[in-house]
Amino acid sequence: MAKATLAFAVFCLLSGVVYLINDVNDREADGRHPVKSRRPIASGAVSPRAALNAAAVLGAVALAAAFAINLPFGLISLGYLVLLSIYSVWLKHIVIIDVLTLAGGFVLRAAGGAAAISVSFSHWLLLLMLLLALFLALSKRRAELVTLAGDAAAHRRILAEYSPYLLDQMIGVVTASTLLAYAFYTISPETVQKFGTDRLIWTVPFPLYGIFRYLYLVHQRAGGGNPSETLFVDRPLLACVGLWGVAVILVLYGPWR
């Protein structure tokens, strides 16, 4: 438990470092954004020099703690920091690579959590995490493109390479892949053997509703620009996640076992 908590704190610090680097690089574009212009660096409340100094200190502390947990977690943490730092400076300007890099960052977080507590990192977890992160990243790009309209490219250069139609096609592919991957996971021989039941397939309606609800918010309510805010503010989504958790517990530990 202590290692898991410390690992969580490490990735919180590393995420903060990445956001500082990203906000320093994007300060001029953020200054033209209706919401992001109020961020400390974009508004001038915090100087770029101070932000980078803070990033250096936080990064050093986080990596020291990561390697203190164990070597695999330290290497994954270092890889995460390097990858997302390169993203902030360069990769976010390359079409398709930008969203793949963001998704890769979430996969590294999950892999880091597994390494910290010395458990195996399932290929199913890798696949589902990658697909779900891609879904959120593409939806975020679409929300930015639609919300900013003609000013989209001025705020984020890569948005000039996308169109709502192209993003809808990508989102459609990823949506179908995510749901199919989850369904196949619930009935895969290794899952049935591990949990002793093939009834996890009964939980499929919850991710189905959750993804459809998120798409509804993106297309009909102009949501998706901030995935974490969308998840924690929308009550039907929160209820869906909670009910999915209850359903999994009942399937695995219910009286009919």
Where are the chain's structural domains? 1-121
Question: Which CA distances in Å does 96 have to 37, 100, 124?
Answer: 26, 6, 23
Residue 102 predicted with pLDDT over 90? yes
Q: Which CATH superfamily is domain 1-121 in?
A: UbiA prenyltransferase (1.10.357.140)
Kindly report, residue by residue over 66-88, the tens digit of the pLDDT: 999 999 999 999 999 999 999 98
What crossing angle do the helices spanning 123-148 and 164-187 adopt, rounded to 10°?
Answer: 160
Considering the chain, what is the average pLDDT of its residues?
89
Taking residues 142-164, what's their average pLDDT?
79
Q: Do the Cβ atoms of 37 and 31 come closer than 8 Å?
A: yes
Q: Which pLDDT value is given to residue 148?
A: 74
Residue 150 predicted with pLDDT over 70? no
Q: In 3D, which of 93, 169, 180, 183 has the Cα closest to residue 138?
A: 169
Taking residues 105-131, what's their average pLDDT?
92
